[in-house]
Structure 1
Amino acid sequence: MLSIGEFSKICRVSTKTLRYYDEIGLIKPDEINSETGYRYYSIKQLKNILFINRLKSYHFSLDEIKELKDIMELDKGQFEEILYSKLKLKKLEMENKLKSLEYSLNQLNNDISNIQNNIPIMSYLDNIKVELVDTEAMNILYVRKTMTKEDFFDGYGSYFGKLYERIALERLTPVGKPMTIYHNSEFNLDGNDLEFAIPIKETVDGTRILPGGLCAKSVLKGSFTELSALYIKLSEWVEENGYELTKSPYEVYIVNPNQVESSDELVTEVFFSIKKK
């Protein structure tokens, strides 16, 4: 048996962290001396620490790790399947974060270059074009959820995936690109009211009519991180030209983000439904 200090030294995890792991039930000492309260760990528990550290390096939370560990102790066969699925999801999350970081780095280099050439850092807003368009009413198959900004990308894949599954199973006819409608009156860090939708031909349970009408439209070619710039530009344009919003803004994804190698390939249309003041 190893004392908590010896165990800490071998696995390079502080005794404070080991005590916390014990508190939350992640890894408990094999033995606690009833008189002294000293904690002792077995050699075999070193593998458990390696497992925990490995998942932490993949950005699993302690709650996620404990859930997996509990499953492993109950059903090893089920554990392998669930672990495989969880690792695939983490891989996708990390790839998305890496793409976002690469985009930010390229953007930073571009801003540095612009400043060196006496080009204002916010001048890119002048290149965002806004046009007036008349849109047709659409019959949309939709699902409405409340989710945070961090959950959005996963939500994109999950909820649009479920909508396309239903379209395939019921042999429905898509007639437009997937879209997201934003129903919040303002951005909310705790969760935003979103509607994931796909225009279809048939009227079935779970469809509704998205009204058409006059819209201010702008197109983004590139990463979703630049969408806020489009929203700002559209808001300024609406105000400066004497219009006001009438319905929730929405985005149309001309290019599926799950089918591109670079965010530079993305094309997103943003629509503000408007009328004259």
Structure 2
Amino acid sequence: MFRIGEFSKLTQVSIRMLRYYDDIGILKPAKINNKNGYRMYSVEQTKVLSKIIFLRDIGFSTEEISHALKHWDSESLKKEFKRKEEVIKEAISVEEQKLKKLREAMSEIDDSKDFNYNVVIKSIPFYNVICLRKIVPNYFSEGELWHLLCEHIEKENLNIKDSNHSFAIYHDNEYKENDVDIEVCIVTEENGIEKDGVTFRKTDAFDLVGSTMVYGPYENISGAYKSFVNWLDENNQYEISGMSMQVCHKGPWNEEDPKNYLTEIQIPIKIK
């Protein structure tokens, strides 16, 4: 048996942490001396402590550590490690996005960049389209809608090619962090069975549309919308009159390098 100080030196874990582990119940002393109240630890407890340190270092909370210690078998551990892997991957993704934005900000400061997107006014006709509209978790889920629509086209053996004009319509009246209402459309004169949310319809025509081209990865799109705010402020005789649309002229299906993506933002407008 070892006193807490001795156990601390041998395991390289501070007395403060050993007392904390005792308080929360994941590593109780093997024995407490009735005469002087000293916490006493056994050799066998070094193995338990090693497990605690390992789990702590890979991001397990004290509650998760307690659960893992009680279920220390291969199947339970694999399940817990897989769950923690997904949590860590998500955290890494979030931090990578922060790092990317930070680097872009530093680049703009260094180069005194101020991205401006040229807005032009045009009209767009109505289109006969095959479309799929769903509420999806976020804007990045739009790709799944395109996948489902193309899968339907292939399954129903419709004569619609990848080269057909396509676009997405965003039906929410505001920017949303989640539960986004998106409709993906492909222009076609084909008709067929409507099922699984896939429909055929005629889109609206617009006499006036503010249009701007976005070159490069999809992360640049937010900057285009901000430029459109400035354009409306400078051209205050116009106001927004409909849902925004995105036409992807070049994307992952026909361009390997995101730097060469080409996306057109279309926002219906009207004279006040």
Q: TM-score, normalised by structure 2?
A: 0.65
State whether residues 134 and 183 of structure 2, in contact with CA within 8 Å, keep that contact through their aligned partners in structure 1. Answer: yes
Tell me the residue number matched to 1:163: 149
- Given candidates 207, 215, 226, the residue that maps to 2:220 is 226
Map Cα deviations across residues 62-93 of structure 1 (whole Å, 9 max, x no partner).
9xxxxxxxxxxxxxxxxxxxxxxxxxxx8xx8
Separation of aligned partners in 1, 2:188 and 2:210: 23
Partner residue, 2:247: 252
CA contact (8 A) 2:115 2:223 kept: no
Q: 1:160 touches 1:178 (CA, 8 Å); kept in 2?
A: no
What is aligned with 1:36?
none
Deviation at 1:188, TM superposition (A): 2.4
Determine which of 4, 13, 16 is the counterpart of 2:55: 13
SS in 1 for 2:169: strand
Distance change (3 Å), C-alpha of 1:17 and 1:103: closer
Paired residues of 2:26 and 2:66 also in contact (CA < 8 A): no
Show the counterpart of 1:124: 115
Helix, strand or coil for the counterpart of 1:185?
coil
Q: 1:255 to 1:8 in 2, by over 3 A?
A: farther
Equivalences for 1:36-185 in 2 at 5 Å? 41=72, 45=73, 48-49=76-77, 52-53=80-81, 56-57=84-85, 60-61=86-87, 104=101, 107-114=104-111, 119=112, 121=113, 123-125=114-116, 128-149=117-138, 152-153=139-140, 155-170=141-156, 171-174=158-161, 176-185=164-173
Rounded to whole Å, the distance in 1 between the matches of 2:92 and 2:223 is 24
TM-aligned CA distance change 1:98 to 1:29, over 3 Å: closer
Equivalences, count: 217
> What is aligned with 2:41?
none
Hey, what does 2:204 align to over in structure 1? 211
Superposition deviation, residue 46 in structure 1: 5.7
Match of 1:33 in 2: none
Per the alignment, do residues 232 and 19 of structure 1 end up closer, same or farther by CA in structure 2, a change over 3 Å counting?
Answer: closer
* Greater fraction of residues in helix: 1
Counterpart of 1:199 in structure 2 is 187
Aligned counterparts of 2:62 and 2:151: Cα–Cα separation in 1:
45
CA contact (8 A) 2:168 2:183 kept: yes
Structure 1 residue 50: deviation in Å?
5.8
Superposed displacement of residue 165, structure 1: 1.5
Partner amino acid for 2:132? V
Q: Deviations over 1:38-76 (max 9, x none)?
A: xxx4xxx2674366335533xx149xxxxxxxxxxxxxx
Distance in 1 separating the partners of 2:159 and 2:178: 35
Matched-pair identity in %: 19
Letter in 2 for 1:135: I
Q: Which residue of 2 aligns with 1:276?
A: 271
Distance 2:228 2:191 in 1: 32
Query: What secondary structure, in the 3-state scheme, does the structure 2 residue paired with 1:254 have?
Result: strand
Q: Offset at 1:250?
A: 0.5
TM-superposition CA deviations, 1:149-207 (whole Å, max 9, x none): 3xx32x23321011111222222324634322111111123422221222222244301
Tell me how far apart the structure 1 counterparts of residues 205 and 124 of structure 2 sit (CA, whole Å): 5
Q: What whole-Å deviation, never above 9, does each CA across 1:122-145 have from its counterpart, x for those lacking one?
A: x222xx111111212112222222
**Could you tell me how far apart the structure 1 residues matched to 2:62 and 2:93 are?**
32
SS where residue 264 of structure 2 aligns? strand
- Name the counterpart of 2:229: 235
Contact 2:142 2:182 survives alignment (8 Å):
no
Residues 189-245 of structure 1: CA distance to partner in whole angstroms, max 9, x if unpaired?
Answer: 342222122222224430111112221100000122221221122233234321122
Show structure 2 runs of 5+ residues with no match. 1-24, 28-46
Distance 1:222 1:110, change over 3 A: same
Larger displacement relative to structure 2 (247-256 or 200-209) = 200-209
- For 2:155, the aligned partner's letter is L
